[in-house]
Chains A and B, each alone.
Chain A
Amino acid sequence: MTADARAAEAVTSHGTTPAMLAVEGLVVGYSGAPVIDGMQLRLPPGQVVALLGANGAGKTTLLRTVSGLVAPRSGRVRLDGEDVTQTTVEDRARRGLAQVPEGHSIVTELTVDENLHLGGLWRLPGTKARRAAVDEMYQTFEPLARRRASLGHQLSGGERQMLALARALIARPRVLLLDEPSLGLAPRVVAQLFAILRDAAERTGLTVLLAEQNVTSALSIADRGVVVSLGAIVADAPAEKIAADPALRHAYLGF
């Protein structure tokens, strides 16, 4: 699917096209006012969606509910049409739902190589297949190849985020959730990471939901932008439209 087609579909995303990831009537919250209040969202296969909004808007909670770390009060999560709401985090991961959580997302006591092998554990059975996939990742992420024997806690912030992304991609997931991958990274590193992400999405048909504060960078690689505020979607449009809407940017994105 071309970027234009994806963008066109984004506008009619509540239609009947099969969604790779769907969130239906989702309500999440521990007590009192819900953090996410009746959210509907459908991501067609291969679409890269930037999830935008201020701190506390509900971006992280949405991602954690989709991956299963948080149980919703009501509503459904569907992966490729299949209702996974009642399944565990581990099961969703094995079905091809990958998440790169914010911050501490690598195993710091393991080496770069071991972290990458962990990523391929379920979806690449056999040591040989994993080894090959790991070596392939070293070609995409050259800085990691030089540090393959280093422990996670010896890596710089940029290298850690690179490793987290490589580990998520190695399993050839169907859906990838990323939470603030640009946080604390130099702009040059962000550009590099996002270029790899865009490339992976185009080559493998990966569906991406990217929560970001770095609105400009996120929209530059996204097909579609979804803006959330107080647990509800307030705007859902092709990325370039969101980027060009000064009122929207001023009201919800803070610049």
Chain B
Amino acid sequence: MNNIKPSNNTLYSQEIYQRISDNIQKVMKGQTTAIRKLLCAFASGGHVLLEDYPGTGKTTLAKALSFSIDVSFKRIQFTPDLLPSDILGVSMLDPNERTFHFHEGPIFANIILADEINRASPRTQSALLEAMAEFQVSIDGNLRKLTDPFFVIATQNPVESRGTYPLPEAQMDRFALQFSLGYISPEDEVNLLSEQIQQHPIDTIKPCVNLEDVIKLKQQVKQVRISQELKRYLVDIVNATRSAEGVQLGASPRGSLALMKIAQALALFDGYEFVTPEHIQELAVAVIAHRLVMEPQARFSGRTAASVVEEIIKSVPVPT
């Protein structure tokens, strides 16, 4: 049954994905699924929130991605005294020309790693989040478009809570995906050690695709078809979170939108021209769970948002 051939465009996009994925895997050992998640958020134009412990490779992952596709990369370490201008940039007076000259902040890069985003004050956080939602910043009353692709990888430390400003629920919604890298297997860790004796592999990593390829990939994601029935299935899942027990606030339509885009990207990566139910189910937890606000009782009884979403996926009948 070799007649099920994807079109050339799809093959091409799949190849781009494979190339980037392989390239990142040179650096990130044993993180295939994390790379897949990261790339599908990247290709679908969403942002990623990594909740993970220090030293698990968050920065490396972001760097490897940016090096692989030859785009600019900036890292912002969030601290309580960080100001919006530290992110967006600042207009400075040029004494010679007697005009204000805009000094671009780190946000004017293609890939941004916002490290420990919950350490900055809400004011600073919202400056970043506006940029994430609208792909633009307003500085001194001027709108400045950000360059495409614009991709934010924010990280949070799940353990420390002293001196942090947890992201408001509304702002959690801006992230397409939340996931964690987790610790890798001991074998992978041994490999990692032996490879880094001489030099860090990230230094040798070479770009494997160019900017055009990436933009084309993003275009291709939008071309992936999805049937009415699957849209309904997807909406049913999101809808069920709004009436689920223990959930105070369910996922928004923005959540549905993000889930659809992620499913499209996954379908493309797998060489499909259309979305299948598996693609919706695959990352539904990562897309939806962080958008839910749980009731305090449910939280205390150990019910997590992720378990709620998993239960919903297990209960909503899938179209076959």
A and B assemble together:
no
Interface residues of B (CB under 8 A from A): none
Residues in chain A within 8 A of chain B (CB atoms): none
